[in-house]
């Protein structure tokens, strides 16, 4: 069972789960359409995350933690506008967001998530 302590609409301060849980780890995802603005790239990446979670037999309500990298931290609010619309209400994961030098200059957002498998929640 996932326990979210001090949850907020965007992220939880603490997330716990049993050590025996089956964890699904999604690699960092970057947008397929790199010509998009930050909100567009964020939507593109989150769509990919949804698809990969479904392929692994789980969904965003079971995400325990997420890491977000931005090419420019000034884009934090633009990315959060899309994240806030996407995150599962009442199931916000623990989360970190940092500025980073990306693998290519046209990548503005990269997101990695960890979720529990559906058969363990």
Using CB atoms within 10 A of its CB, is residue 48 exposed (0-12), middle (13-18) or buried (19+)?
A: middle
What pLDDT is recorded for position 18? 87
Domain boundaries, the chain: 3-120
DSSP letter for each residue of 45-93: HHHHHHHHHHHTT--GGGEEEEEEEES-GGGHHHHHHHHHHHSPTT-PP
What pLDDT is recorded for position 1? 84
Average pLDDT score over the chain? 96
What pLDDT is recorded for position 120? 56
For the segment(s) 3-120, the CATH number from 3.30.1330.40, 3.30.360.10, 3.40.920.10, 3.40.190.10 is 3.30.1330.40
Per-residue pLDDT tens over the stretch 19-58:
889 999 999 999 999 999 999 999 999 999 999 999 999 9
What is the percent of the chain where pLDDT is above 70? 98
Average pLDDT over residues 81-99: 98
């Amino acid at each position: 069972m996932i326990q979210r302590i001090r949850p907020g609409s965007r992220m939880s301060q603490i997330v716990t789960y049993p050590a025996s849980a089956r964890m699904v780890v999604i690699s960092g995802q970057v947008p397929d359409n790199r010509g998009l603005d930050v909100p567009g790239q964020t939507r593109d990446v989150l769509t990919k995350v949804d698809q990969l979670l479904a392929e692994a037999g789980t969904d965003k309500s079971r995400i325990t933690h997420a890491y977000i990298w931005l090419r420019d931290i000034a884009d934090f609010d633009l990315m959060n506008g899309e994240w806030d619309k996407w995150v599962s209400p009442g199931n916000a994961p623990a989360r970190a967001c940092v500025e980073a030098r990306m693998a290519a200059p046209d990548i503005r957002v990269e997101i990695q998530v960890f979720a529990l498998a559906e058969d363990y929640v």
